[in-house]
Each structure stands twice: as C-alpha cells, then as structure tokens.
Amino acid sequence: MDNKEKLINFFDAENKRDWITYRKFLSKDIIWELHSTQVEMINGIDNYLNTMIEAYQDSDDNFICESMYLNNEQSRIVALLVNSCGKRSCDIFEFSDGLIIKEYEYILG
C-alpha cells in the first residue's frame, strides 16, 4: 500500500472513529502543528489520539477529501478537506517509513 492509499484509509478510520486502525498510520513520535486562531503543537501518538477522540466525543461530523497533491516520493501529501458543516482545512502530511510523522493543519473556516 502506498502512502496515498494509507492516507485515504487513515481518513476513513477517522470518519468511522476506528481509533485502533487510525493509530496504525501514526509514528509514535508524531508532531501535529494545528493552525487555527493560534498555533498549537501536539507531540506524540497518545496526545494526538487523545486530542482527536476528545474533538469527536459529542460529534457525528465526517469529512471528505476534496483534493490531494503528492510529491513524487509520496513523502509529503497535501489534502484539502471539508467537513459535514462545510468547514475546510488544508492538511500537509509528512511520511517516513510508511508512517505519518508530521501533520500541519490549517483551519480555513
């Protein structure tokens, strides 16, 4: 499975709230840089997962990937996402050894 397919399956696991499968795509040392009203840094797989689980706790929101752009090695993938409320984000994923090692997320509103 290439990194593009992994990212598609990662998104699917997030929409299904399948946190066991979701975890398999993440490096234990993942860094998530979230740009919203301020910049927030989330370090490590457990903090990343706990943040995601809390964000979806009382929500049935889902999202789709509107478009995806890859470099030749698929080590960096940019995804434009829109959730069921119409809010958009631009997410940049960096891969190493088949795992997501860094995510930059820009909330576009």
Residue 59 has a pLDDT of 87
CATH of the domain at 53: 3.10.450.50
pLDDT at residue 85 in the model = 87
Quick one: average pLDDT of 70-98?
Answer: 95
Q: Structurally, how many domains does the chain consist of?
A: 1
- Residues 24-78 have pLDDT tens digits of 999 999 999 999 888 999 999 999 999 999 989 988 899 999 999 999 999 999 9
* Confidence at residue 5, expressed as pLDDT on a 0 to 100 scale: 97
Residue 109 pLDDT > 90: no
Q: How confident is the model at residue 3 (pLDDT cuts 50, 70, 90)?
A: very high
Across the range 79-86, mean pLDDT stands at 94
Please check the confidence at residue 102 and state whether its pLDDT lies above 80. Answer: yes
At 54, the amino acid letter reads E
Domain extent for 67:
3-107
What confidence category does residue 91 fall into, taking pLDDT thresholds of 50, 70 and 90?
Answer: very high
